[in-house]
Amino acid sequence: MGKMNKERETAAPGLSDEALDELIARALSLDPQGDGLPAFLDELNPLTPSARSRFAITLGRQGQEKALSVLAAMGKREALAPAAAEALGCVRSQEAARRLLELAETSPHREVRKSAGRGLHRLRSLGLHVESAPLGPKPAAAAASAPHP
């Protein structure tokens, strides 16, 4: 039974181990400021949410600055942001915490802000000192809903 559970945990529909390895290698070879990153992120859109999460978490575990840059770029895309927030919460570093805090403060999507908040909590529970995410609605959303004189 232990082996069966392990297989279920690692198998994500639509993403074989070989495809995952290829995506990770490509992500780590990208120039975060280059033209290739947006096209690469477009390729992740058709993946299932579980496959996106598997990719993002595996990428985050690489522990490289390039990985964090790709995850941060994913966090700016609605379809990819939940996976990015989940993955950043698994990376025990101040840079991951900073990027999570940015997601928690700026994402227009409630679920992404909640996921980023959970990731920040996870990092705090691992002993990493991180700032608190603001409570309540996103500041820009609150300003937009205020009546104009």
Task: Write the pLDDT tens digit of every residue in 71-107.
Answer: 999 999 989 999 999 999 988 888 899 999 999 999 8
DSSP output for 66-109: HHHHHHHHHTTSTTTHHHHHHHHTTS-SHHHHHHHHHHHHH-S-
Distance CA 29, CA 34 (A): 11
Confidence of residue 121 (pLDDT cuts 50, 70, 90): very high
Task: Write the pLDDT tens digit of every residue in 6-45.
Answer: 443 444 456 899 999 999 999 999 987 778 899 999 999 9
Residue 117 is encoded by which pair of tokens?
């908040």
Q: Which amino acid is present at 84?
A: A
Asked whether 52 and 14 are in contact (CB, 8 A), the reply is no
Question: Taking the model in full, what pTM does it have?
Answer: 0.75
C-alpha angle 43-33-60 in degrees, rounded to nearest 5: 60
Distance CA 36, CA 32 (A): 8
Distance CA 94, CA 68 (A): 11
Does 2 have pLDDT greater than 70? no
